A and B are shown apart, each in its own frame.
Chain A
Amino acid sequence: MNVVRWVARAWAICTLIFAAGVTFAQTPAALLAHYKTQAQGQAAGDAARGQAFFTSTHGNEWKCASCHGAVPTGKGEHAMTHKVIEPMAPAFNSQRFSDLAKSEKWFRRNCKDVLARECSAAEKADVLAWLLSLK
């Protein structure tokens, strides 16, 4: 019976850890902390570097700013369809960076369009640090 109890306890602990991981506070600050941790000691979360990254091209035609605007406190416009894109800076749009899965999806896609690769955790932290500094 000890084995059963042990398995049950391990299961409960796993469930708790999983639940904590899923429900961790999904705020822009928490996402920034998450990306900094993921960067594993690499320099990460530098707002100035984030701005430079956001407003530069990286080998492809587009930069982040092509659709989001050079200072994304206001609305941007999709470079192809010209659909309005709501502000990216969390202070101007509370929906932004409030859902890790959503942020990951958009980073994955948009980084591929801009850099032809996925962004590193350090790059995401830099950009988010800059966006958070816009008030």
Chain B
Amino acid sequence: MNSPLLSWRPLGAVLVLLLCAGATWAQPAGLKGAPAIFTAECTSCHIGYAPALTGEASWRAIMAGLDKHFGVDASIDDRARQTITAWLLAHASKDSRYAKPSADFRISTSAWFVRQHDEVGSKVWKRASIKSAANCGACHSGAARGDFDEDRVKIPQ
């Protein structure tokens, strides 16, 4: 019973618990199956934001106002808009934690985003290596693939 290995047991239990918690909180953020037109139209100015990062209400509002897209004209032709909107709505989050729209429909101002990033100080956001909450890839190197795993976050200096 004095085996040193046994003393690691509680740590193992904690690890398992952490893994479970991580799995629960992991963002359902995949971009799998995105139509080619989504990649062509929605990843030029920013990374492709996975549809499950927000809900139907946000996507509807965003896709209806592309000519004034957070201060930028991002208008596209009707056919592209319809195809992209259909895919976004089909894969939008149905989980109320993620689906609740923020006042300005930004993902980065939604409650879950703010809560998940509450340990990131305002000075950190302003670092030259980060600059913007839209710049997911600065800390989440797999963001463009939809990988936001907390274990792989690396906040640059």
Contact = CB atoms under 8 A, between A and B. Distances in A.
B74 A81 contact: no
B48 to A, nearest CB: 11
A110 interface: yes
A108 B131 CA distance: 27
B5 interface: no
A108 B76 CA distance: 10
B83 interface: no
Contact of B46 (A81, A105, A108, A113): A81
Contacts, number: 36
A108 B77 CA distance: 12
Contacts of B137: 83
A83 B131 CA distance: 11
B135 A83 contact: yes
Nearest to B67: A112
A9 interface: no
A113 B135 contact: no
Contacts of B74: 109
A81 B75 contact: no
Interface string B125-138: 00000011011011
B45 A113 contact: no
Question: Chain B binding site: helix, strand, loop or mixed by DSSP?
Answer: loop
A66 B128 CA distance: 16
A100 to B, nearest CB: 14
A81 B138 CA distance: 11
B4 interface: no
B73 A80 contact: no
B70 A80 contact: yes
Contacts of B138: 82
Interface in A76-131: 78, 80-83, 85, 105, 108-110, 112-113
Contact of A80 (B44, B47, B76, B134): B134
A105 B46 CA distance: 17
Interface in B12-70: 44-47, 70
Contact of B71 (A80, A82, A109, A110): A80
The 6 A-B residue pairs with the shortest CB-CB distance in the complex, in nearest-first order: A81-B134, A109-B73, A81-B46, A112-B73, A82-B135, A82-B131
Given A80-B72, A81-B46, A81-B135, 10 more contacts: A78-B45, A81-B134, A82-B135, A83-B46, A83-B137, A85-B44, A105-B76, A108-B73, A109-B74, A113-B72
